[in-house]
A and B are shown apart, each in its own frame.
Chain A
């Protein structure tokens, strides 16, 4: 698995026809067995990761104050579009959900559903103190969730209250690094033959 981050559980989609592996993964297995196939598979994976990391489309989803800094980051001076981060209005088209701001217990199921509606691969950035652990609203409070990672798995935490737009961009760059290191195509191969790997 990828290094440098916490192991997060991700939903693995099981095809409807009952077979254990998806067609893409079967193809990868076949390619992997060919002579020189390992180089091919990892190269394809690198290209895919490169493409994925350079076009992270976030959901336009703001909860509270940090959403304002997120808008500033997408605004003129910081211009997140330079990194291929183009906001999408629907979770069906999004790869990334930036949880910007405090999340209430009433809002938590909604966030969870939005995350579930996003197609794989999907990533989560927790922006600001409130999304990370409740922040200023941790004590004496009955309504704020103590961290968004109790609801959805978080890839990158950006501290700050609210973080500067630069800090958010740095978080996005960290996420790009993480995506670049991912082994989505070949991870099943490692599971299938742990002794050989």
Chain B
């Protein structure tokens, strides 16, 4: 067992070594991102909020109402309803419960027409949970203007 003096000397030496390593970092470039002022570039594959882009040519939904996303969703947070038959089938309800969604991307993967896409947005904090139920209009509004999301790019 080393004496108290020796142990103290060791501790001081350890402290000096550690602080030496620490102070080397002072000269290194800063890594902190000033978030609200500057934003990080999220990757194009980022699983952000979901959106339903509108077909720019026809002005209609790209959704062909195949219910595949509703079936694959592990959280069961997509609800689709439609009326009509055959080619006249019209989407009457397309709700995504964003509070239940787990952003896994399976719905985007199975969609045959790339009607449902991820947007690179992630800021959707709200005071009221009811705001997190995204209806068809909300999803249209959230759709990216440029093709940035994964479903479009592929």
- Chain A residues with a Cβ under 8 A of chain B: 4-6, 76-79, 82, 129, 132-136, 138-139, 147, 149, 154-161, 163-164, 166-167, 169-171, 173-174, 178
- Chain B residues with a Cβ under 8 A of chain A: 31-36, 39-40, 42, 49, 74-76, 97-104, 122-129, 132
* Chain B interface SS verdict (over half): loop
Per the bound structure, the CA–CA distance linking A163 and B39 in Å amounts to: 15
Asked whether, in the complex, the Cβ of B123 is within 8 Å of the Cβ of A132, the reply is: no
- Known A132-B132, A135-B99, A161-B103; contact A166-B32, beta-carbon cutoff 8 A: no
**B-chain residues with CB within 8 Å of residue A164 when the two chains form the complex:** 42, 122
- Known A159-B124, A170-B123; contact A133-B39, beta-carbon cutoff 8 A: no
Partner of B75, one of A136, A159, A170: A136
Which residue of B is nearest A3, CB measured? B127
Asked whether, in the complex, the Cβ of B125 is within 8 Å of the Cβ of A159, the reply is: yes
Asked whether, in the complex, the Cβ of B40 is within 8 Å of the Cβ of A166, the reply is: yes
Per the bound structure, the CA–CA distance linking A76 and B32 in Å amounts to: 6
- Known A167-B122, A174-B125; contact A132-B31, beta-carbon cutoff 8 A: no
Per the bound structure, the CA–CA distance linking A77 and B39 in Å amounts to: 12
Asked whether, in the complex, the Cβ of B123 is within 8 Å of the Cβ of A167, the reply is: yes
Asked whether, in the complex, the Cβ of A129 is within 8 Å of the Cβ of B33, the reply is: no
**B-chain residues with CB within 8 Å of residue A79 when the two chains form the complex:** 32
**B-chain residues with CB within 8 Å of residue A156 when the two chains form the complex:** 125-127
Which residue of A is nearest B97, CB measured? A133
